[in-house]
Chain A
Amino acid sequence: MRTARVITILAITIIAISPTVQSDSEQIILASHCPPGFELTDDNACKCRNMYQQYESLRGSGVGGLKTGLPAIRDGFSPQQIDLGRYLFFDPVLSVDGSLACSSCHDPNYGFSDGKGRAVGMDGAIVQRGAPSLWNVAFLQSLFWDARASTLEEQMQGPLYSAEEMGNTPAKLAATLNNIPAYRRLFADAFPSAQKDIRVQDVHTAITAFESSLVSLNSRYDHYAHGYHEALNENEIEGLNIFRSFVARCAECHTPPLFTNQQVAVLGTPEPDGLPLDQGAQKTYADPKFRAGFKVPSLRNVARTAPYMHSGTFETLKETVAFYTKGRGHAVPEGEDLKLHWHIWEPDLSDRELDRLVDFLETLTDEGFMPQIPQRLPSGLKPGLVRNENK
């Protein structure tokens, strides 16, 4: 039974990748320029440049107010590594059967998420949590909803090699890519000092390089923050003031300029129907005080990434902000003793205030540096994007 399955998978893979093996005639050339937002240095590294570099932050923490510097960014990859990462990111050849790419769940058309409450993995399996947006992921010090990875390289090995997500293994991924001449050539371009064969760590590096290039810091909110106060209308400014007030307290955890303080918080949000409580970061830290704790996500481009919370329990921003005013612990299942975050209280926000908060959150949208989805992939496969069976 098991052997049969492996053979089937192998067969599918071979069929899936076979068109490329034959032709590398119309050559894909890796970019020698940096993506938007990056300066090419003399040693062929792309360094992030943005207007927040005009400012400091207290103790270099990257949290504060409007004119505050950002947290440290992961940058310095070469243009070639970033561009190779882009091809890999969109290429379903990375999954065991050629069915799923990174972009199948982190689709640029859905704010680098997927529009679903919980991500869909191998053979339509619905996984435990939602796919987070990748905008500004280079500024994050921990990854996954439960904060269990500290680098993008470490993080991506979760979905790549998880049976219910992309289902691959490091050895098989390396073998697949080494069988594709176009990838062999492109890896040699991007990693000139590496050995002849493609290594999985170079795959991880290239995808990290691409993901780190997804910068969004030029929203209308940012125009306001840098001093152009006409960028926001009256309702949006009112929303900003509610957002940072100590009644709603949004800005205490979703701290500018990244709109996350990068901590784990226990909110006590409900799970979608029928699902048991997700233990969240309790497992990461082996500490029951973190039960149902999740990483505070950045709110940049949040209007593009519905539904919300770790398992997509809220369809709209309005429902999401309304959660915070329905009472401390109102959705905690009976018998659970969660150590709810101290900022979860009863702010008693009016319906009007909730609307203004949504107005403000919508000013955080900026996709000006959207990368291009490749027209062709070295594998010959079609770029993986979100599939909506119902639509």
Chain B
Amino acid sequence: MKWKMLMIWLVLLAVGILAGKFLFKSKPTSTALTPVKLYEAQGGYTPGLAGADTALAGFKGEIIEVRNGDKIQDAVKKANPGDLIRVYPGSYRETVYIDKDDISFQGIIIEGEWPTLDGGKELNDGFLYSGNGIIIENFKIINYKGNGIMGQAGNNFVIRNNWVVDAGVYGIFPEFGKNGLVEHNVLSGIEDAAIYVGMCDNIDVLHNETYESVAGIEIENSRHCLVENNYTHNNTGGLLVFITPGLPIKTCFDIIVRNNFVVDNNLENFAAPGSIVSGIPQGTGILIMAADDVTLEGNIITGNNNAGITITDLTLVANVATDPESEPNPDRLVILDNFMSNNGNDPGGQLKALMATQMESKGPDIIHFGGGSGGCILDKNKYRTFGLEDYGQCQVRTSIAVKSYMLAEPVPPRDISAEEKGKLTFYGVCSGCHAYGIRMIGPPTRDLQAIYNNNPQGIVDYITNPIRRRENYPEMPPQNYLSEETRMAVAEYMLTVEK
């Protein structure tokens, strides 16, 4: 009887698999929706992909498909702002660099097969972007030497639902960006920080899992960040918020760390010698170094063998430079209700020595080393603490009013009129050869105004493809590297110059 039932189930299962395969394989694109735009992702939890037709309705760009054997970079070269690049399962060995705005990348995962960027331990970075409005979702990224995903100055980014394994120094690293979302990523095997928000403003880091890395999540020299609902476990240090001195942006403040699981971060430190995180003691749950106005609320912090929460000034990590412009103390820390247990079972080095002076062999739940003032804690008696004598009782009970630190609208590009663009281009480029009333390398602007009176298009045509017209002047180099719009703007401006 039992066997019969099992046979029936197996047959049904086989039919189901075949039918599923057929359905999926026949039209896989129809199941994929365009990624949620940033402004649509506002207001709390959003699923990895858009669940509504509105995303498709709002999408106006081209969809460029990339399949196994193609290069993603070829699609980037073709793409214009607003386009979506869909990448199908397969192995892609390349560094994808994006120096354009508003390009979305969407991996299409079919029956557990991911589009995989594989650096083969030869390539430096997976994704490298400088543009604004970049969305990267649903990629598996493995075996790079530098970073899985790195952003340099792009604003309004979304990095979502990526699976990053052993991708080098950092897994996901936005730098110099404003208004970004890092959510639903799973990262492991990273030799510095799995998720590293460096010198950024207004970033949400939500629903990620990071493990078996030196640092799980690191917020450094950044402001207005919400780190919520992440699971960071089995790293050397789980969650770090700090100032690194010697960087060009010097502050780190207004960070909320809320409702995260910070568990069993006891991995032996395997960071490169000399790196900042090589000084992080193994067994560190949360580390706050020199950052100000950090709120810790609702976190579950357990099993971290050095200490649950370590708060310190810049003297803890001996290998960082000093910086006269970096304020070294963690000030106005707010510790609200957190769940802490089983931390400090095996404190190391400096902490062990310190605890020994207290006749104590365990590390504390919460420790504050060195300078810093204005801190508060909601219910100090709940925890085993050290160095929190100056902490007052918090007046606030929750930070829940802050739903997100992202901006209600994307950071707009600098608003610049055609006239101003023309002016900047004229002085930035043309004035090297053309002055108003005198001869430099090229003819005076005044003479050109007489020739091209009311004819900016004539100037555009000439500078795009110049031919030598004057015996006693050198040939003008083509200015075709300026966009058509810029060439017209500068031609129009050139005709208005008066001195």
Residues of A within 8 A of B (CB): 33, 36-40, 48-59, 61-68, 217-218, 223-231, 237, 241-242, 244-248, 251, 255-256, 261-266, 285, 287, 289-290, 293, 328, 339-342, 344-346, 348, 368-369
Contacts between the two chains (Cβ within 8 Å), count? 178
With A66-B130, A218-B432, A241-B125 already in contact, the answer to whether A54 and B414 are too (CB < 8 A) is: yes
Is B112 an interface position by the 8 A CB rule? no
Instruction: Report the separation of the CA atoms of residues A36 and B433 in the bound assembly, to the nearest whole angstrom.
Output: 8
Chain B residues lying within 8 Å of A345, measured Cβ to Cβ, are 272-275
B319 contact from A251, A342, A346, Cβ within 8 A: A342
With A65-B154, A246-B124 already in contact, the answer to whether A50 and B428 are too (CB < 8 A) is: yes
Q: Taking CB as reference atom, which chain B residue is nearest A346? A: B272
Residue interface mask B142-178, A partner, CB < 8 A = 1: 0001110011111000000000000011100100111
Are B322 and A290 interface neighbours, CB within 8 A?
yes
What's the least CB distance linking B109 to chain A, in Å? Answer: 27
User: Which of A53, A228, A245, A246 counts the most B-chain CB atoms under 10 A from its CB?
Assistant: A246
What's the least CB distance linking A372 to chain B, in Å? Answer: 9
> How many positions in chain B have a CB within 8 Å of any CB in the partner chain?
68
What's the least CB distance linking B328 to chain A, in Å? Answer: 13
Provide 24 A-B residue pairs closer than 8 Å at the C-beta atoms, listed in order of the A residue.
A33-B436, A51-B424, A54-B421, A59-B249, A61-B176, A61-B249, A63-B248, A64-B176, A65-B154, A66-B153, A67-B130, A223-B481, A225-B99, A228-B481, A241-B128, A245-B128, A245-B146, A246-B147, A246-B173, A251-B152, A261-B248, A265-B246, A285-B322, A342-B320
Residue interface mask B426-451, A partner, CB < 8 A = 1: 11110111011110100000000000
Chain B residues lying within 8 Å of A68, measured Cβ to Cβ, are 153, 176
Chain A residues lying within 8 Å of B249, measured Cβ to Cβ, are 58-59, 61, 63
Chain A residues lying within 8 Å of B319, measured Cβ to Cβ, are 339, 342
Instruction: Report the separation of the CA atoms of residues A339 and B314 in the bound assembly, to the nearest whole angstrom.
Output: 15
What's the least CB distance linking B485 to chain A, in Å? Answer: 10
Instruction: Report the separation of the CA atoms of residues A341 and B323 in the bound assembly, to the nearest whole angstrom.
Output: 12
Chain B residues lying within 8 Å of A344, measured Cβ to Cβ, are 274
Extra inter-chain contacts (10) besides given A50-B424, A339-B321, CB under 8 Å: A33-B499, A49-B427, A54-B424, A61-B176, A66-B130, A226-B483, A244-B152, A246-B147, A328-B273, A342-B274
What's the least CB distance linking B476 to chain A, in Å? Answer: 12
Chain B binding surface, main DSSP class: loop
B153 contact from A51, A58, A218, Cβ within 8 A: A58
Instruction: Report the separation of the CA atoms of residues A40 and B273 in the bound assembly, to the nearest whole angstrom.
Output: 53
Are A33 and B246 interface neighbours, CB within 8 A?
no
What's the least CB distance linking B1 to chain A, in Å? Answer: 62
Chain B residues lying within 8 Å of A218, measured Cβ to Cβ, are 428-429, 432
With A51-B428, A241-B124, A345-B275 already in contact, the answer to whether A58 and B178 are too (CB < 8 A) is: yes
Are A55 and B272 interface neighbours, CB within 8 A?
no
Residue interface mask B343-371, A partner, CB < 8 A = 1: 00000000000000000000000000000
Is B416 an interface position by the 8 A CB rule? yes
With A61-B249, A218-B429 already in contact, the answer to whether A247 and B145 are too (CB < 8 A) is: yes
CB-CB nearest 7 A-B residue pairs: A65-B153, A64-B153, A49-B427, A65-B130, A246-B146, A245-B124, A228-B481
Q: Taking CB as reference atom, which chain A residue is nearest B145? A: A247
Are B176 and A49 interface neighbours, CB within 8 A?
no
Are B176 and A369 interface neighbours, CB within 8 A?
no
Are A33 and B438 interface neighbours, CB within 8 A?
yes
Are A56 and B124 interface neighbours, CB within 8 A?
no
Chain A residues lying within 8 Å of B170, measured Cβ to Cβ, are 246
Chain A residues lying within 8 Å of B99, measured Cβ to Cβ, are 66, 224-225, 227, 229
User: Which of B100, B324, B431 counts the most A-chain CB atoms under 10 A from its CB?
Assistant: B431
Chain B residues lying within 8 Å of A263, measured Cβ to Cβ, are 246-248, 323
What's the least CB distance linking A276 to chain B, in Å? Answer: 22
Is B423 an interface position by the 8 A CB rule? yes
Are A217 and B428 interface neighbours, CB within 8 A?
yes
B274 contact from A56, A226, A231, A340, Cβ within 8 A: A340
Residue interface mask B473-490, A partner, CB < 8 A = 1: 000000011110000000
Instruction: Report the separation of the CA atoms of residues A262 and B274 in the bound assembly, to the nearest whole angstrom.
Output: 21
Chain B residues lying within 8 Å of A339, measured Cβ to Cβ, are 319, 321
Are B176 and A228 interface neighbours, CB within 8 A?
no
Is B340 an interface position by the 8 A CB rule? no
A231 contact from B426, B428, B481, Cβ within 8 A: B481
Is B188 an interface position by the 8 A CB rule? no
Instruction: Report the separation of the CA atoms of residues A230 and B482 in the bound assembly, to the nearest whole angstrom.
Output: 11
What's the least CB distance linking B263 to chain A, in Å? Answer: 28
Are A246 and B322 interface neighbours, CB within 8 A?
no
Instruction: Report the separation of the CA atoms of residues A59 and B433 in the bound assembly, to the nearest whole angstrom.
Output: 34
Instruction: Report the separation of the CA atoms of residues A340 and B437 in the bound assembly, to the nearest whole angstrom.
Output: 54
Q: Taking CB as reference atom, which chain A residue is nearest B200? A: A58
Are B130 and A341 interface neighbours, CB within 8 A?
no
Q: Taking CB as reference atom, which chain B residue is nearest A244? A: B152
Are A341 and B321 interface neighbours, CB within 8 A?
yes
